[in-house]
């Protein structure tokens, strides 16, 4: 993009910079997803989840769908968390009803030595094309958030070969060949940094690092195998584009015990899962970072009235001081009623405006 | 039991009372289990896991098996976490490779109203018979730990009908009909209290409450739906038998953010999962409770040397002051090499003795 389009709604960016906002901005993890009938229709047209994620035109279409329904304050790139290892040649596929898998998991010395950071302009071009196309389609309505899995979370899938309850294969490598895991994490950190920088270059106005599995580590292990590499990524990111700050949000699911360390990683904001108490999170990180979260996604199974009540509880707990972005504590469930999302977005907007006026 | 047998090894009880001990006592969650070939043999003889758990003679046999191999400082009753809802008539069964399920989950008002606390002397007699038989077989070598699932964790399985990634059915009830969930939790609290008291009466010398799923709640939700009912249970327990204190250990997997509140529940000790930093846990709970834990169970996949190193790290982090019981941060994996357990138990004994001498 040669010129930065003026944003009609920059509430998200201001809140991430802990500057005053008239109301608390809201977006939802996995907001473009299966709970929306129009998403299901587009996905059926694409043929598969991966075909959808790999088509810039269709990814643009689904990225914008939730914004047509709800007055959300951000769009988030529709993509998969595992695009990077797929671009490394590991062969991402989705087994029926089983989640992501790799044809060629990275389990021995030879596989680790063969790993190399992919050039995003080459094997991840479809993502960058999607970013550009989404920015054009948004035309400055709200900012676009880019994202990547964290180096550790990518390694979990790469070594295990897919999702897992306890990631025993990954842990076996961690405890018996930590040198191999460190090598994978180095490659992943370089890959994630260049991938996120390419997204920023293509137009992402904020980026989020999803550390979905960092919470399966011990405290010392989290520092050594997850946070250290996330810090490397953050330190290598372009943090400004056309004179505007590009904030970085770090989310570690199950990371509530480590917020102080996460806040010192160089990021601008922390995503909180739903288990973390809002007021103590704020007290622990002080004014160092903004906080994003953290309604239990399954609270959206309640009646609209109860959803509104739960939303007010979260807003009250964070308080009216600058630096809160409303979100769920994890991705929205595919079984969520659309009316619940309507009630949530409406209540967050109205109540948070009132909080600031009162 | 008419008379308290003098214990040959009461290190566990002394550590749980935060009194000085010559070395750090150790036992392992799920120490009688599938990683032991002799367990697999007995289970095959029983025909099924449930038949094994329901036979006092076979439960006694497997409870003692790990003690024959390793110099552990406690035995723990071999039983299932779901005996109580099974005794309520919910029809516990194990689907091939799928974990526990209930034939009649508790999902509507009628099912909730029909729930009643079972009389342990009647429908759970096989557990009490096992406790008595194990005590006889132990003959005072080490103390026997009894246990139960927490009221909330039992409710998770009862409403969901089995295990789950997110317990969406339970959460739906929690957010849309909290009155029904509270009613289930009341019945569960009464049931768990009388079940644990019956185990104590039959000879259990310490009891542990496993809150396996409390960590899926928000902080406020944990207080309201899990800890409040655990507190009710703890307040109703017989805490002394024949003049000897019967300590209560509370373990909430994923509860590392809530240790202060857990320490105020009336229990004697907290079980820590492997994600919690030992030194900060101690600083947060002070001298109120003993701490039990918390090596990552998958660290046992490493070489014996590395296992010893990891054990020393955990011991060093807890320090030599009284009030630590060594354990894993979760149940031992069925794929654990027996040599790892040998190395672990040996190192904990030797190194913790040296720590106290040095």
A94 touches chain B (CB under 8 A): no
Q: Report, in angstroms and rounded to the nearest whole number, the Rg of chain A calculated over CA atoms.
A: 19
Quote the strand ranges of chain A, DSSP E.
75-76, 92-95, 99-102, 144-149, 206-211, 240-241, 244-245, 248-252, 269-271, 290-295, 324-328
CATH code at B304?
3.20.20.210
A219 touches chain B (CB under 8 A): yes
Query: Number of residue pairs across A and B with CB atoms under 8 Å?
Result: 93
Among the listed residues A311, A273, A281, A290, the one whose alpha carbon sits nearest the alpha carbon of residue B254: A273
**Is B273 inside a domain boundary?**
yes
Domain that holds residue A293: 11-357
B229 is catalytic: no
B217 touches chain A (CB under 8 A): yes
B169 touches chain A (CB under 8 A): no
Tokens representing A172 are: 């076996």
Measure the CA angle with vertex A129, ends A128 and A134; round to 5°: 100
Task: Please classify residue A307 by burial: count the beta carbons closer than 10 Å to its beta carbon, then call 0-12 exposed, 13-18 middle and 19+ buried.
Answer: buried
Distances from the Cα of B132 to the Cαs of A260, B198, B204, in angstroms?
49, 11, 8
Report helix, strand or coil for A245.
strand
**Is B3 inside a domain boundary?**
no
Mutation target vs A (from B221, B275, B278; most A CBs, 10 A cutoff): B275
**Confidence at B250, pLDDT banded by 50, 70, 90:** very high
**Is B287 inside a domain boundary?**
yes
Mean pLDDT, to the nearest integer, of B216-243?
Answer: 97
CB distance A296–B166 less than 8 Å? no
Instruction: Give the residue numbers of A annotated as catalytic, written as ranges.
Output: 30, 34, 43, 80, 157
A172 touches chain B (CB under 8 A): yes
User: What distance in Å separates residue A172's CA from the closest CA in chain B?
Assistant: 6
Query: What pLDDT, in 10s, does the model give residues A174-226?
Result: 999 999 999 999 999 999 999 999 999 999 999 999 999 999 999 999 999 99
CB distance B257–A274 less than 8 Å? no
A268 with A290: CB under 8 angstroms?
Answer: yes
Nearest to B218 among A219, A221, A274 (CB): A274
B177 touches chain A (CB under 8 A): no
User: What distance in Å separates residue B16's CA from the closest CA in chain A?
Assistant: 23
A218: chain B residues, CB-CB within 8 Å: 274-275, 277, 296, 329
CB distance B298–A257 less than 8 Å? no
- How far apart are alpha carbons B62 and B64 in whole angstroms? 5
B-contacting residues in A 250-269 (Cβ below 8 Å): 254, 256-257
B34 is catalytic: yes
Query: What pLDDT, in 10s, does the model give residues B264-298?
Result: 999 999 999 999 999 999 999 999 999 999 999 99
Residue A324: what pLDDT?
A: 98
Distances from the Cα of A42 to the Cαs of A48, A126, B250, in angstroms?
10, 18, 49
Mutation target vs B (from A178, A225, A257; most B CBs, 10 A cutoff): A257
**Confidence at B96, pLDDT banded by 50, 70, 90:** confident
Residue A5: what pLDDT?
A: 60
Measured between CA atoms, the residue of chain B closest to residue A299 is B175
Alpha-helical (H) ranges within B177-320 are 178-202, 219-221, 228-236, 259-263, 278-285, 304-318
B221 touches chain A (CB under 8 A): yes
How far, in whole angstroms, is CA B93 from its chain's centroid?
21
Residue B95: what pLDDT?
A: 84
CB distance A302–B219 less than 8 Å? no
Look-up of token digits 């729930």: B115
Residue B330: what pLDDT?
A: 98
User: What distance in Å separates residue B202's CA from the closest CA in chain A?
Assistant: 36
> Which of these is catalytic: B14, B18, B30, B282?
B30
Report helix, strand or coil for A46.
helix
**Is B271 inside a domain boundary?**
yes
**Is B239 inside a domain boundary?**
yes
Nearest to B171 among A176, A218, A298 (CB): A298
Torsion angle of C-alpha atoms B352, B354, B355, B357, degrees rounded to 10: 130
B3 has pLDDT over 90 = no
Please list the pLDDT of chain A residue by residue as tens digits (358 residues): 434 568 999 999 999 999 999 999 999 999 999 999 999 999 999 999 999 999 999 999 999 999 999 999 999 999 999 999 999 999 999 988 788 999 999 999 999 999 999 999 999 999 999 999 999 999 999 999 999 999 999 999 999 999 999 999 999 999 999 999 999 999 999 999 999 999 999 999 999 999 999 999 999 999 999 999 999 999 999 999 989 999 999 999 999 999 999 999 999 999 999 999 999 999 999 999 999 999 999 999 999 999 999 999 999 999 988 999 999 999 999 999 999 999 999 999 999 999 998 7
Cβ contacts of residue B350 below 8 Å, gap of 6+? Answer: none
CB distance B171–A301 less than 8 Å? yes
B298 touches chain A (CB under 8 A): yes
Query: What pLDDT, in 10s, does the model give residues B123-179?
Result: 999 999 999 999 999 999 999 999 999 999 999 999 999 999 999 999 999 999 999
B337 touches chain A (CB under 8 A): no
**Is B238 inside a domain boundary?**
yes
Number of independent structural domains in chain A: 1
B218: chain A residues, CB-CB within 8 Å: 274-275, 277, 296, 329
**Confidence at B4, pLDDT banded by 50, 70, 90:** low
* Element at A213 (helix H, strand E): none
A207 with A199: CB under 8 angstroms?
Answer: yes
B254: chain A residues, CB-CB within 8 Å: 254, 275
**Is B31 inside a domain boundary?**
yes
Look-up of token digits 């099912």: B111
B97 touches chain A (CB under 8 A): no
B19 is catalytic: no
A353 touches chain B (CB under 8 A): no
Quote the strand ranges of A186-265, DSSP E.
206-211, 240-241, 244-245, 248-252
Residue B46: what pLDDT?
A: 96
Among the listed residues B270, B271, B166, B178, the one whose alpha carbon sits nearest the alpha carbon of residue B221: B178
**Is B162 inside a domain boundary?**
yes
- Percentage of residues in chain B with pLDDT exceeding 90? 95
Task: Count Cβ atoms below 10 Å from residue B125 Cβ, excluding itself.
Answer: 15
Ordered DSSP codes for A49-88: HHHHHH-HHHHHHHHHHHHHHS--S-EE----TTHHHIII
B221: chain A residues, CB-CB within 8 Å: 296
- Tell me the pLDDT of chain A averaged across its residues: 96
B217: chain A residues, CB-CB within 8 Å: 275
Measure the CA angle with vertex A95, ends A92 and A97; round to 5°: 130
- How far apart are alpha carbons B325 and B310 in whole angstroms? 16
Nearest to A257 among B171, B220, B257 (CB): B257
B5 has pLDDT over 90 = no
CB distance A171–B296 less than 8 Å? yes
Mutation target vs B (from A30, A164, A174, A219; most B CBs, 10 A cutoff): A219
* Element at B92 (helix H, strand E): strand B92-95
A93 touches chain B (CB under 8 A): no
Residues in chain A: 358
B281 touches chain A (CB under 8 A): no
């Amino acid at each position: 993009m040669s010129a930065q389009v003026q944003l009609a709604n920059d509430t998200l960016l201001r809140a991430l910079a802990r500057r005053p906002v008239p109301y608390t901005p809201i977006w939802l993890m996995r907001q473009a997803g299966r709970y929306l009938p129009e998403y299901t229709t587009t996905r059926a047209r694409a043929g598969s989840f991966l075909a959808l994620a790999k088509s810039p035109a269709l990814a643009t279409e689904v990225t914008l769908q939730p914004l047509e329904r709800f007055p959300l304050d951000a769009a988030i790139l529709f993509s998969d968390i595992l695009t990077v290892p797929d671009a490394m040649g590991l062969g991402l596929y989705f087994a029926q009803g089983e989640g992501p898998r790799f044809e060629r998991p990275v389990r021995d010395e030879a596989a680790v030595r063969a790993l190399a950071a992919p050039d995003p302009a080459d094997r991840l071009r479809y993502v960058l094309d999607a970013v550009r196309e989404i920015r054009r389609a948004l035309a400055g309505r709200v900012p676009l958030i880019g994202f990547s899995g964290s180096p550790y979370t990518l390694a979990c899938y790469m070594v295990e070969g897919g999702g897992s309850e306890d990631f025993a294969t990954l842990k076996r490598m961690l405890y018996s060949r930590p040198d191999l895991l460190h090598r994978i994490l180095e490659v992943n950190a370089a890959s994630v940094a260049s991938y996120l920088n390419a997204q920023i270059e293509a137009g992402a106005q904020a980026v989020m690092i999803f550390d979905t599995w960092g919470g399966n580590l011990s405290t010392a292990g989290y520092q050594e195998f997850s946070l250290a590499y996330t810090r490397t990524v953050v330190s290598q990111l372009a943090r400004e584009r056309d004179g505007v700050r590009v904030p970085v949000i770090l989310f570690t699911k199950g990371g509530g015990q480590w917020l102080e360390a996460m806040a010192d990683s160089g990021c601008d904001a922390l995503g909180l899962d739903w288990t973390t108490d809002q007021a103590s999170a704020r007290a622990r990180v002080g004014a160092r970072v903004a906080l994003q979260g953290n309604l239990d996604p399954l609270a959206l199974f309640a009646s609209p009235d109860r959803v509104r009540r739960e939303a007010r509880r979260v807003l009250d707990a964070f308080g009216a001081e600058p630096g809160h972005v409303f979100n769920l504590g994890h991705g929205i469930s595919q079984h969520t009623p659309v009316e619940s999302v309507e009630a949530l977005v409406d209540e967050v907007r109205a109540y948070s405006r009132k909080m600031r006026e009162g």
